Amino acid sequence: MADFDVDLFVIGGGSGGVRAARIAAGHGARVMVAEEYRMGGTCVIRGCVPKKLFVIGSHVHEEIEDAAGFGWSIGQVSFDWATLVANKDKEIARLERAYTANVEKSGATVVKTRAVLEDAHTLRLATGEQVTAKYVLIATGGAPNHGPAIPGIEHVISSNEAFHLKELPKRIVIQGGGYIALEFAGIFAGFGSDVTVIYRGDNILRGFDEDVRKHARAEMEKRGITIITGCTVTKVDKHGEGFTTHLSSGSSIASDQVMFAIGRHPNVANLGLETAGVAINPANGGIQVDGWSKSSVDNIYAIGDVTHRTNLTPVAIREGHAFADTVFGKRPVQVDHATIPTAVFSQPEIGTVGLTEEEARAQFSHVDIYKTDFRPIKATMSGRDTRVLMKLVVDGTSDRVLGCHIVGDDAAEITQVVAIAVKMKATKADFDATMALHPTAAEELVTMRSPTARHVRQAAE
């Protein structure tokens, strides 16, 4: 490998790129990582981590309200948005330093600059330096996509800017019905904003189980969030410090901020991909890769959101680790993209793993559904009008649990553990044989004995 300056050049210092760099360096490779912005990528700097910190903070108001039912008398309280943002910034800066330090401790080199492919093995840094590499890994992630240009699009913020607002908006309009839109709807509502969600589809959370979609929407509306479906934003007017959002339905909404969270696109532009011969997947706009994360060029690989396969941080990390083990560790590893647990940190929280009821009924001839909808124990004393949904999707022939869907407090924490059972192909009988842990919400998963529905698909004649 001495013919090249490095064995591996990683473009992008996010979660996936960092994991690949560290593992490859651990296998003895000479590694260089180029990051033009901040180490940590979308998740650490402008995604899951700051989002979760904001979610935690936004829950406090509800906790204070619920406290009265448990005997607490709490006086007047106040919230300062600027303090939240400043403390979040300190934590993100700490994590960024940790990411950089961990890469350097592994023996890899970090360069804080942009890198562009000049050919399959040559990279040009923004500093003017040229570096040759035997292998190149592209891990540049994705960015918010505002969709078609509409009048006033320049007034719209994305989740990136939402983390750095100078003040909490009294009223905000959010277009979108997926993870990011609903998470920020809960965040702003929790801190006291008047929130309106606009979504083009018939209901929020496209692709999720239908029961989850209905339950989550009802619970969000109970919390005062207005959800308008079946229309889109067609124009945004600015009036002094405020905005008027015009909808395709003909109505309009006044607010202090307008945020779009309608999807993300892979960061593939201006990387020199065409020059190096790297193909783009026409179906999703990401870098086209095979099951080993290899692109159309033998020595160039891509992982994470830039491939637009499954845009989740743990997936990018697993792909980066597998790449490094395969190419530098002499241990071929392919990532299994099936049965990936996922969470929406909306309010209420959503956790899901495996197949939805609709997916299962399309794939299996016999499907049993176990479902429960109940008032959590905390609400019996706090008086809060809220309910938890838990649902198991089971193959009626083999008894294997195909999917689990939870809406309620700690849904993500519960789902992470259930995902182990689903991955191990546990049966409903295995769940039934597991002793309940009482009193918990999760015990419902092992105490649901009778199906709420049985579906049998008739064979085609």
**Which amino acid makes up residue 357?**
E
Kindly state the tokens that stand for 96.
Answer: 């960024």
Q: What pTM did the predictor assign?
A: 0.94
Q: What is the mean pLDDT of residues 430-447?
A: 97
Q: Which domains does the chain have, with CATH numbers?
A: 6-144+265-328 (3.50.50.60), 153-262 (3.50.50.60), 348-456 (3.30.390.30)
Q: Note the pLDDT of residue 261.
A: 95
pLDDT tens for 381-422 read: 999 999 999 999 999 999 999 999 999 999 999 999 999 999
Q: What is the mean pLDDT of residues 200-216?
A: 97
Buried b (16+ CB within 10 A) or exposed e, 36-61: eebbbbbbbbbbbbbbebbbebbbee
Q: What is the mean pLDDT of residues 192-215?
A: 97
Give 176-180 contacts, CB < 8 A, sequence gap 24+.
Answer: 176/260, 176/261, 176/262, 176/263, 177/201, 177/203, 177/204, 177/205, 177/206, 177/229, 178/204, 178/205, 178/206, 178/261, 178/262, 178/263, 179/344, 179/346, 180/261
Phi, psi of 266, deg, nearest 5: -70, 140
Q: Note the pLDDT of residue 1.
A: 45
For the chain, the distance separating the N- and C-terminal CA atoms, rounded to the nearest angstrom, is: 62
Q: Note the pLDDT of residue 2.
A: 57
Q: Note the pLDDT of residue 458.
A: 74
**H or E element in which residue 85 lies:** helix 81-105
Phi, psi of 22, deg, nearest 5: -65, -45
CA dist 68 and 73 (Å) reads 6
Q: What is the mean pLDDT of the chain?
A: 95
pLDDT tens for 212-231 read: 999 999 999 999 999 999 99
CA dist 258 and 188 (Å) reads 12
Q: Note the pLDDT of residue 459.
A: 60
Alpha-carbon dihedral angle through residues 37, 38, 44, 46, given to the nearest 10 degrees: -40
Q: Note the pLDDT of residue 461.
A: 46
Q: Note the pLDDT of residue 147.
A: 84
pLDDT tens for 50-108 read: 999 999 999 999 999 999 999 999 999 999 999 999 999 999 999 999 999 999 999 99
**Which amino acid makes up residue 276?**
A
Residue with tokens 């890899």: 108
Buried b (16+ CB within 10 A) or exposed e, 347-384: bbbbbbbbbbbebbbeebeebbbbbbeeebeebeebeb
Q: What is the mean pLDDT of residues 160-167?
A: 96
Q: What is the mean pLDDT of residues 142-150?
A: 90
Query: Is 142 a residue whose pLDDT tops 80?
Result: yes
Kindly state the tokens that stand for 194.
Answer: 């008047």
pLDDT band at 146, cuts 50/70/90?
Answer: confident
Phi, psi of 363, deg, nearest 5: -100, -25
Helix 313-328 to helix 15-26 angle (10° resolution) is 20
147: closest CA among 172, 175, 173, 171?
175
pLDDT band at 148, cuts 50/70/90?
Answer: confident
**Residue numbers annotated as active site:** 438
Q: How far from 113 is each of 34, 116, 419, CA to CA, in Å?
A: 6, 10, 39
Give me the helices (H) in 302-424, please. 313-328, 357-363, 377-382, 411-423
pLDDT tens for 259-300 read: 999 989 999 999 999 999 999 999 999 999 999 999 999 999
Higher pLDDT, 461 or 171: 171
**H or E element in which residue 437 lies:** none
Question: Is the preceding omega at residue 50 within 30 degrees of 0, hence cis?
Answer: no
